[in-house]
Structure 1
Amino acid sequence: MKSIRKFTVRAVVPARLGALEELAANLRWAWHEPTRRLFEQIDPDAWARSERDPVTFLGEIDPSKLEALAGDDEYVARADRERDALRAYLAEPRWYQGIDGETPRLVAYFSPEYGIAAALPQYSGGLGILAGDHLKAASDLGVPIVAVGLFYKAGYFSQSISSDGWQQERYPVQDPDGLPLSVLRRPDGSAVQISIALPGGATLAARVWRAAVGRVTLLLLDTDVPANADDMRGVTDRLYGGGSEHRLLQELLLGIGGVRAIRAWSELTGASAPEVFHMNEGHAGFLGLERISSYIGEGLGFAEALQLVRAGTVFTTHTPVPAGIDRFDRALVERYVTPELLPGVDPADALALGVEPGADPATSAFNMAIMGLRLAGHANGVSELHGRVSRRMFGSLWPGFDPEEVPITSITNGVHAPTWIDPALTALAERTLGTDDSEHADWLSPAVGDAELWAVKRQMRERLVGDARRRLAAAFVEQHPGASAPDWITRALDPDALTVGFARRVPTYKRLTLMLQDPERLTAILTDPERPVQFVIAGKSHPADDEGKRLIQQLVQFAARPELRERIVFLPDYDMAMAETLYPGCDVWLNNPLRPLEACGTSGMKAAMNAALNLSILDGWWAEYAAEDYGWVIPSADSAGDAGERDAREAAALYDLLEHRIVPAFYDRPAVDPVQSGYFERDADRVPAEWVRMLRTTLTRLAPELGADRMVRDYVERLYRPAASRFGAMVADDARAARGFAAWAAKVRAAWPQVAVLHVESGGLDQPAVGDELHVRAEVALGGLDAGDVAVELVSGRSTAADVLTDAERTPLAAVGGGSWEGTVTLDRAGSFGYTVRVVPAHPLLADPAELGLIAVAG
């Protein structure tokens, strides 16, 4: 018999152990190992069953055990010490508080998903895990952030695999009372409820759940409240579920409702209003329209409010392909974006923000990323390569500018080391190096012996094998109710075999089944009796992606072959709990997407932090960090005639690397001289000396570069501080600068069709040689603008056969009156040389010359 409703009854914790409740209430336990060990000591088995979630754990623990511990003075003192350490962590100055100069008082961070801990399953993959790591690192650094998302009652989905290998989805309902959340309440105890207007006079209401992520407050909006009709209660039912209208409602709530939730939270806590708003992808783009509406209510016009919003907004794009962007039917958006929803905002002005460049404004889809970029004065991709891809992908927003000038920078993602580094590795650093900061430990130090490091790596591999066998057994019993798991599962995987990991979302471009291109060759690699290789694979495909599901099915069916099932396994229901053993337990991390479709791909970063070597296509983060000491590069077959040929060639390169470089390096000495081949045998202690040297170098030199602390520092210095400075300048004195800048921008746009470079002449060079000076004079029509409204530049560089300038440099020309500008450039290199003259807008508050998308170039 099934219950119709469930809730969590929490244990009554004795007063002497009150520190435990305080520690459980803050999600810092998700990455603070001493706190986790404190709970584990109470009941290790129950702690494991709770998946190391102290809230669940305290709800299920035998009260008698708590009563007994309350009499243990040593344990009580230890709990009190950890509570005091948490309080100090929350209050003491950290890196951010020591920055010289002005910094934002508060940053608002918006994301549709957050991967904080397995106990709070509000994430689907990399975007959410990145958001969670961003908050954790911001907390550790003391960066003042308030984050906003949605509370999905069924989270993403739980995955199981049918007997024929097909992915099946389940949506277990989450009980928020059993999660590390609390309702945002007013002083009288009533719950805060925000609402947004819907067509026809209806409203969508949401309560606000609050989570403490260290020093960061995370607000999650939940529509499952009595004030809503039944269909509206389900708006936040699941992550990335439902049809187009369902998704639009979620994104309206996230953006508009999220800004309103921050206002309510600020009023209750006395916190400063955010100076910077950061959109983690375009899902939260409507936040800019809500802020524009608010500023219009204070007396600004739309154009003035838009400039004020842009000044303090950061937009991060995570997709390298147009198909990955949310688009909505214009008529659908038009039905929802009304004056009732956004008072003071003309719907036509709002709709124009989402029109793709060159498209018919009356019929084109509403593009959330395009709106996000138009609302943000600062934008970035998530790796160097992705930044280049993004500048080309969105370049049409800035017509006439070369791709390298498109104002989208890049900040490479990072991962939160305390979350992802295995405790065994941290313990080794503490034991041998005297530091618990294993991310920055000197693993090249002789204090860490090869045998010790290798033993810890085997320990992590052994833990993965045990976890994998447990999961395989559970999956078998789920498929075959009443049956016992077969004996072969107890032999699946080997803690001493070379272990390759592959785990991520499963869209087609990530090529889950590239390894299956030549099944016979892969089988030979896996089943070599002397030097076996084993693969541990996991990943979820979107419920609507049948092509991705077919890839999973192919892989599962291949792995089910009797001769292979102990050497290649697919683990269902990939999540953060699985990842905690998967990354540390692998020796090699495989990534083989279609280049350049991987924006960043942080799974290989997590593996590297756990002494694993990468085997990857030069895409995402690996394209900028790859080195022989850190792993191997799979050559991209860019010259292939079609997709089939490309897959075949890249798979062959993968097999070659495994057979001729990776496997011999892990196991033994090849027949040829090791100095020439690069292969090294294991020493007398059965330690592969060269392999361990690579592990040391990865841990010492690569891992510190991959941390989320580096990433968040980059955001602060390169985006948050400039955005806050520009916003402060715009908003001061009743937004006087914003009003003036908007008027100036309107004047420039109106005049720009008449701006032109009329004539260019140069002299002084009969036979140009290195060191000579080129003098240039340009005649420019300004269309009624003043000379101070523009910058006239000489653009010079190498000229290709197609007369395209490369390695271009820009030299300002000076106004000399009468519509003339002059300047000089020194010829500092030999070879083909070309130049032109261009005109761009100029204003002290412009964040970038390309910001307005206006340029005039000599014909």
Structure 2
Amino acid sequence: VADVPIGHITNGVHAESWIAAEIIALYDQYLGEDWTLRQTERTTWEAIDSIPSEELWQIHKKLKARLIDHARKNLEEQRRRAKDSPERIAEAQTLLNPEALTIGFARRFATYKRANLLFHDLPRLSRILNQSGRPVQILFAGKAHPADIPGQDLIREIYRVSQVDEFKGKIVMLENYDINLARYLVQGVDVWLNNPLRPLEASGTSGEKAALNGVINFSVLDGWWEEGYDGTNGWSIESSPDSDWQTQENENAESLYTKLEQEIIPLYYRQETYPEPWTAVMKRSIKTLSPEYNTHRMVQNYTDQFYAPTMSRYRKFQADGNHAAHTLAEFKLFILKNWGEVGSAIARDDLTLPASTGFKEVKVDIHLGQIAMKDVAAEIVYYADNKEGIWEPVHVPLIPEKDIDGGFSRFHTQIPSHLTHLKHYSVRVRPYHPLFNHHSEMSHNYTSVL
């Protein structure tokens, strides 16, 4: 995989589009009105610590109350469309508690995102949501692709569970998920839940939007959260490394329940007039995640890592009447015509014998035919234990030495003597030109076991 010339840019979100107006006003006051121009600078966000915790909390409570009001209207309209009884319609205006710990889960309902992981142990979930004096409520929202029947089944399952007596008003499925509803949710819940099946989450951005508003993430370590989580700015849903999917499911569910029971719920309700320990995590989340997971940083990364180098390469190929472009095109045509002659790598030393010094000298004769030594990159490849039980490839470049008879060319290198007990080495030859963008620009590859 390390040989594949693929880079990555982690997604970011447009801060001004997702941060609540009240939070923006708070940032204007304490970070400076030009904070949006400095949002990728970590020093900008250090000023978060100067925001009085009670002021931050009161704004958050206002946003949560606004979310709950909107959710009640959503439920009322949902019940009117379903032609529910007048009592059921009226009940919608009393569901949800503005003082309760509120968890949000809203996104595309693909099956790998496991919206129903919370339902792994329903009796345990019931105990968590129905603790006396420590109410917890969970808001779900999302849509499945019209062709994704399993995703639609997840929505049905959530609605079915939400109608069970012990979960009524504690688990709520909001319909007609759109950008407007998403804004209410990422601005107003206390905790943002994300539990995809590793390693299937490409990035995920809903949690980034939530973090900008001071909502704390609680997520599987996958996608952006694997990079963003530092042990102090939210919570992780854990599983053992390289576990199979069923084991991961069981371990994730156990971790999810345990963190809620032992860390998240006790922290939220450890308060007097306002939860100082909770707002400390809110601030830590804002301070550490905001400078990194925004579109300013994302676009800058694209520019620095891909767009600018591509433009530079374009100018190089365009210069002097496209001289470099013609040179490289001619080289590739030559390789295409003559690569069939490459082969027959012969080791001139017994690689299995121990070396008397710290290194073992290796000579390899490779048949290149009409291709010059300077036009290939040759290397010895073997696998070695990385001391963590994983065997990884080791690449040792072969240095051109001289042309010899019969279309062969001799290369040499040195290998550390403590590695020469390995019995299986390979030589790999690929085309090389200084104008290549990366070593795999041409797919041609010759490999032979020595």
Q: TM-score range by the shorter chain?
A: 0.7 to 0.9
Q: Which residue of 2 aligns with 1:652?
A: 254
- 1:46-78 deviations in Å (ceiling 9; x for gaps): xxxxxxxxxxxxxxxxxxxxxxxxxxxxxxxxx
Note the C-alpha offset of 1:800: 7.7
Q: 1:429 aligns with which of 27, 34, 38?
A: 27
User: For the residues of structure 2 that align with 1:800 and 1:761, how far apart are their CA atoms?
Assistant: 28
With over 3 angstroms needed to count, the CA separation of the structure-2 counterparts of 1:442 and 1:637, relative to structure 1, is: closer
- 1:523-582 deviations in Å (ceiling 9; x for gaps): 222222311111111110011111111110110121123442322211112111112111
Secondary structure (helix, strand or coil) at the match of 2:80 reads: helix
Note the C-alpha offset of 1:808: 2.4
Q: Which residue of 1 aligns with 2:276?
A: 689
Q: 1:749 aligns with which of 336, 345, 353?
A: 336
Amino acid across the alignment from 2:188: G
Note the C-alpha offset of 1:812: 4.7
With over 3 angstroms needed to count, the CA separation of the structure-2 counterparts of 1:582 and 1:450, relative to structure 1, is: same
Q: Which residue of 2 aligns with 1:784?
A: 370
User: For the residues of structure 2 that align with 1:407 and 1:764, how far apart are their CA atoms?
Assistant: 30
Secondary structure (helix, strand or coil) at the match of 1:624 reads: helix
Q: Which residue of 2 aligns with 1:730?
A: 317
Secondary structure (helix, strand or coil) at the match of 1:553 reads: helix
CA RMSD of aligned residues (A): 3.1
Amino acid across the alignment from 1:724: M
Note the C-alpha offset of 1:687: 2.8
With over 3 angstroms needed to count, the CA separation of the structure-2 counterparts of 1:639 and 1:730, relative to structure 1, is: closer
What is the aligned residue count? 438
Secondary structure (helix, strand or coil) at the match of 2:444 reads: coil
Instruction: Report 1 or 2 for greater relative contact order, CA contacts < 8 Å, sequence distance ≥ 6.
Output: 2
Structure 1 residues 546-565: aligned runs within 5 Å: 546-565=149-168
Note the C-alpha offset of 1:738: 3.5
1:605 aligns with 2:208: yes
Contact 1:838 1:856 in 2 (8 A): yes
With over 3 angstroms needed to count, the CA separation of the structure-2 counterparts of 1:445 and 1:743, relative to structure 1, is: closer
Note the C-alpha offset of 1:807: 6.0
Q: Which residue of 2 aligns with 1:703?
A: 290
Contact 1:502 1:538 in 2 (8 A): yes
Contact 2:351 2:420 in 1 (8 A): no
Amino acid across the alignment from 2:341: Q
With over 3 angstroms needed to count, the CA separation of the structure-2 counterparts of 1:528 and 1:742, relative to structure 1, is: same
Structure 1 residues 427-466: aligned runs within 5 Å: 427-435=25-33, 437=35, 439=39, 441-442=44-45, 446-466=49-69
Secondary structure (helix, strand or coil) at the match of 2:193 reads: strand
Q: Which residue of 2 aligns with 1:165?
A: none
Secondary structure (helix, strand or coil) at the match of 2:151 reads: helix
With over 3 angstroms needed to count, the CA separation of the structure-2 counterparts of 1:738 and 1:560, relative to structure 1, is: same
Q: Which residue of 2 aligns with 1:537?
A: 140
Q: Which residue of 2 aligns with 1:665?
A: 267
Contact 2:48 2:287 in 1 (8 A): no
Unaligned runs of 5+ residues in structure 2 are none
User: For the residues of structure 2 that align with 1:527 and 1:804, how far apart are their CA atoms?
Assistant: 46
1:417 aligns with 2:15: yes
Note the C-alpha offset of 1:749: 2.9
Secondary structure (helix, strand or coil) at the match of 2:137 reads: strand
- 1:92-150 deviations in Å (ceiling 9; x for gaps): xxxxxxxxxxxxxxxxxxxxxxxxxxxxxxxxxxxxxxxxxxxxxxxxxxxxxxxxxxx
Note the C-alpha offset of 1:779: 0.8
Secondary structure (helix, strand or coil) at the match of 2:277 reads: helix
Q: Which residue of 2 aligns with 1:774?
A: 360
Q: Which residue of 2 aligns with 1:593?
A: 196
- 1:777-807 deviations in Å (ceiling 9; x for gaps): 2211113212222122344673589x99626
User: For the residues of structure 2 that align with 1:442 and 1:846, how far apart are their CA atoms?
Assistant: 41
Secondary structure (helix, strand or coil) at the match of 1:486 reads: helix
Contact 2:353 2:421 in 1 (8 A): no
Q: Which residue of 2 aligns with 1:855?
A: 445
Q: 2:397 aligns with which of 806, 811, 814?
A: 811
Note the C-alpha offset of 1:500: 0.9
- 1:671-711 deviations in Å (ceiling 9; x for gaps): xxxxxxxxxxx2x4x33232222211111122211111111
Contact 1:426 1:437 in 2 (8 A): no
Note the C-alpha offset of 1:663: 0.7
User: For the residues of structure 2 that align with 1:699 and 1:641, how far apart are their CA atoms?
Assistant: 34
Q: Which residue of 2 aligns with 1:820?
A: 410
Amino acid across the alignment from 2:262: H
User: For the residues of structure 2 that align with 1:461 and 1:491, how far apart are their CA atoms?
Assistant: 15
Contact 1:755 1:856 in 2 (8 A): yes
User: For the residues of structure 2 that align with 1:614 and 1:486, how far apart are their CA atoms?
Assistant: 33
- 1:175-219 deviations in Å (ceiling 9; x for gaps): xxxxxxxxxxxxxxxxxxxxxxxxxxxxxxxxxxxxxxxxxxxxx
Note the C-alpha offset of 1:648: 3.6
Contact 1:764 1:773 in 2 (8 A): no
Note the C-alpha offset of 1:662: 1.0
Contact 1:762 1:774 in 2 (8 A): no
With over 3 angstroms needed to count, the CA separation of the structure-2 counterparts of 1:817 and 1:620, relative to structure 1, is: same
- 1:281-311 deviations in Å (ceiling 9; x for gaps): xxxxxxxxxxxxxxxxxxxxxxxxxxxxxxx
- 1:236-277 deviations in Å (ceiling 9; x for gaps): xxxxxxxxxxxxxxxxxxxxxxxxxxxxxxxxxxxxxxxxxx
Contact 1:534 1:567 in 2 (8 A): yes
- 1:441-487 deviations in Å (ceiling 9; x for gaps): 43565531121122222122122111111211222222228968633
User: For the residues of structure 1 that align with 2:34 and 2:78, how far apart are their CA atoms?
Assistant: 36
Contact 1:469 1:489 in 2 (8 A): yes
1:712 aligns with 2:299: yes
With over 3 angstroms needed to count, the CA separation of the structure-2 counterparts of 1:755 and 1:768, relative to structure 1, is: same
Q: Which residue of 1 aligns with 2:131?
A: 528
Stretch deviating more after TM superposition (582-591 or 736-745):
736-745
Structure 1 residues 27-106: aligned runs within 5 Å: none
Percent of aligned pairs with the same amino acid? 33
User: For the residues of structure 2 that align with 1:777 and 1:558, how far apart are their CA atoms?
Assistant: 69
Contact 2:382 2:425 in 1 (8 A): yes
Contact 2:233 2:288 in 1 (8 A): no
Secondary structure (helix, strand or coil) at the match of 1:848 reads: coil
Note the C-alpha offset of 1:601: 0.9
Contact 1:444 1:697 in 2 (8 A): no
